[in-house]
Amino acid sequence: MLLSIRGLDKSFGGTPALSDVALDLRAGEVHALMGENGAGKSTLIRVLAGVSPADRMDARLDGAPLVLGSPADAARAGFRFVHQELNIVPTLSVAENIFLGRSLPRRLGAAVDWRRLNRMAGDALGRFGLSHIDPRQKAGRLGTGDRMLMRLASMLVSGDTEPRLFVMDEPTAALTHAESERLFAVIRDLRARGAAILYVSHRLDEVMALADRVTVLRDGRRVLTAAMAETGRAGIIRAMTGRDVTEAHPRRAAPARAGTVCRLEDVSAGRLSGLSFELGTGEILGVAGLENAGQSDLLHLLLGDGGRISGRAEVADAALPRSPSQAWGRGVAFVPRERRREGLMLGRSIVANTVLPHLGRLSVLGLARKRLETDESRRLAQALRLRHRTLAQPVRELSGGNQQKVVLARATLDAPKLLLLDEPTRGVDVGAREDIYATIRSLAAQGTGILLASTDLPELIGLSDRILILRDGRQVGLVATQGLDPEGLLSLIYGEARGAHE
């Protein structure tokens, strides 16, 4: 046994976050760590990283007692961490990033030996079969996936001790399919070298394919540790939620097209081109494509945040809004892709975040009505089953899924005419996903036209009535979802398909 933990307790301000948790990691295994948002996964990782030490814990590394009181302890034990948000220095080269924080090879004792540095970095990348990354280029030019792989390569060469355990927190959240595949290959390679990988992800398919064993946390307690082969999908979901959740998306009745909320005719703007579609009231139109194929650009365009256009565009019975503020004023609501950067004021309260776009309507003569703001926020928090302590608490304290619910609550407070959703369930656990899906469906039933951009293909097919396909910013297809399966959609996205164009 590489690492064995027993009786781990950790509480914050009297509220237990982890109680009596046990975890066993073997050398040469991929071990999935699962649980809903707020179940304690992040806390457990922070304990392992020595960032927030446990209140009580019996930890053994190779059978010898192990203290994790600081990040240095974790580094000495051979633990390495890959986070969702990567710490890279975009202005430095890939090679410099890989050797960041350590002395670089030198010539004559002073000048950096660039050639040797680049060769060492190239070797580190090469071990993962990452020869497509040039060590000399600026790290900021790499895609998200390559950045992650670069960080992994950096971990292999970093530190005084051999890496024994890699902890990966949602590594594929921002990766394309191909990038994910490359990462999985690297993970398998690491496993073959005898390292343990603790793998945190909400993507069940991924976990089922990759992990040897799984540990599930619920409400700060370990509820399951089992070999993946012995547990089914349903078993994991049941362990996570404590209830049976049907993952399937119920078929909706086709919407009654009473009107049009959005109409584009041969619109081009920036890198977008050839956009022609109509979105009816109560309709959910999916937007599919490879990573960064223009999905976000399209949503921003309709929000009035896309610059000049050619072609004809009509949104909510008027011309294209000129600014987000005008868009919201006309009943266009938006859930951005990156909730922490584009969505939330993390230090502000749930109420402040929820009512922000609606302050004008909720006030009288410019004076805020705090009671009304709180009432509206409470109504939405209940509808979305938001897990929170009080509505006055800063959203920073909420788990990722619950933060996403706040962003969604904001967008749905005023029953918008047009709702723009950009990856609304990214990094969100199964239970919270269901709540978000239910909200989306109920809005559509009330007549809101919804544009849903997502790279989660089952989600896209399950929710949408039709799907718009983008490739490099260009509209290449518009298909009905009836009878479509993920494989079929994927081939349309890649453009290998037959007769995909309308």
Partner 1 sequence: MIHLRRYATLVGFGLILLAFALALPDTFLTAQNLINISQQVSMLAVVAFAMTVVMAMGDFDLSVGAMASLAGVVAASLFAAGFSLPAGLLAGLGTGLLGGLFNGLLVARLGILPFVATLGTLTMFSGAAFMVSDGRTIFGDDIPEAFGAFARGGLPVGGLVLPSLSLLALAALLIVWVLLEHTSYGRRLYAIGGNMEAARLAGVPVRRLRASAFAVTGLGAAVAGLMYASRVASANPTQGDGLMLNAIAAVFLGMTMSEESEPRALATLAGVLMLAVLDNGLTQLAVDSYLRQFLVGAIILAAVASSRIGLSKG
Which positions touch partner 1 (CB under 8 A)? 303, 305, 323-325, 327-329, 334, 336, 341-348, 352, 356-357, 359-360, 362-363, 366-368, 394, 410
CB nearer partner 1, residue 209 or residue 368: 368
What is d(CA 448, CA 263) in angstroms, rounded to the nearest whole number? 14
Under DSSP, is residue 128 helix (H, G, I), strand (E, B) or coil? coil
What is d(CA 26, CA 34) in angstroms, rounded to the nearest whole number? 17
C-beta atoms surrounding 385 within 10 Å:
15
Q: How far is the CB of 110 from partner 1 (least distance, A)?
A: 33
C-beta atoms surrounding 63 within 10 Å:
9
Task: Record the tokens describing residue 219, joined without a space.
Answer: 């409400």
Quick one: angle between helices 370-383 and 400-412, nearest 10?
120
CB nearer partner 1, residue 1 or residue 359: 359
CB nearer partner 1, residue 204 or residue 362: 362
Q: How far is the CB of 193 from partner 1 (least distance, A)?
A: 39
Beta bridge partners of 224: 216
CB nearer partner 1, residue 31 or residue 300: 300
Question: How far is residue 326 from each of residues 112, 254, 337, measured CA to CA in Å?
Answer: 53, 31, 20
Q: How far is the CB of 320 from partner 1 (least distance, A)?
A: 15
Q: How far is the CB of 151 from partner 1 (least distance, A)?
A: 25
Question: How far is residue 248 from each of residues 203, 235, 286, 429, measured CA to CA in Å?
Answer: 15, 15, 17, 15
Q: How far is the CB of 304 from partner 1 (least distance, A)?
A: 9
Q: How far is the CB of 14 from partner 1 (least distance, A)?
A: 12
Q: How far is CA 357 from the centre of its chain?
A: 24
CB nearer partner 1, residue 12 or residue 494: 12
CB nearer partner 1, residue 106 or residue 370: 370
Q: How far is the CB of 369 from partner 1 (least distance, A)?
A: 9
Question: How far is residue 463 from each of residues 46, 251, 452, 485, measured CA to CA in Å?
Answer: 35, 8, 9, 13
Question: How far is residue 238 from each of residues 43, 182, 222, 234, 243, measured CA to CA in Å?
Answer: 22, 30, 13, 6, 5
Q: How far is the CB of 366 from partner 1 (least distance, A)?
A: 5
Handedness of CA 376, 430, 460, 494 (dihedral sign): positive
CB nearer partner 1, residue 359 or residue 415: 359
Q: How far is the CB of 363 from partner 1 (least distance, A)?
A: 5
CB nearer partner 1, residue 80 or residue 337: 337
Q: How far is the CB of 398 from partner 1 (least distance, A)?
A: 15
Q: Which residues, in sequence order, are CB contacts of 64 under 8 Å at separation 6+?
A: none
Q: How far is the CB of 336 from partner 1 (least distance, A)?
A: 6
CA-based radius of gyration for the chain: 24
CB nearer partner 1, residue 137 or residue 323: 323
Question: How far is residue 2 from each of residues 61, 159, 349, 378, measured CA to CA in Å?
Answer: 6, 19, 42, 47
Question: How far is residue 447 from each of residues 299, 326, 415, 491, measured CA to CA in Å?
Answer: 19, 21, 9, 31
Task: Record the tokens describing residue 469, joined without a space.
Answer: 């396909």
Q: How far is the CB of 344 from partner 1 (least distance, A)?
A: 6
What is d(CA 470, CA 289) in angstroms, rounded to the nearest whole number? 5
CB nearer partner 1, residue 274 or residue 394: 394
Q: Residues 159, 164, 165, CA angle at the centre, nearest 5°?
A: 105
Under DSSP, is residue 138 helix (H, G, I), strand (E, B) or coil? strand
Q: How far is the CB of 7 from partner 1 (least distance, A)?
A: 25
Task: Record the tokens describing residue 168, joined without a space.
Answer: 């990966």
Q: Which residues, in sequence order, are CB contacts of 124 under 8 Å at separation 6+?
A: 98, 153, 154, 156, 157
CB nearer partner 1, residue 210 or residue 299: 299
CB nearer partner 1, residue 112 or residue 368: 368
Instruction: Give the position of tokens 């948790």.
Output: 21
Q: Residues 175, 177, 183, CA angle at the centre, nearest 5°?
A: 65
15 burial type by CB count under 10 A (0-12 exposed, 13-18 middle, 19+ buried):
exposed
CB nearer partner 1, residue 347 or residue 483: 347
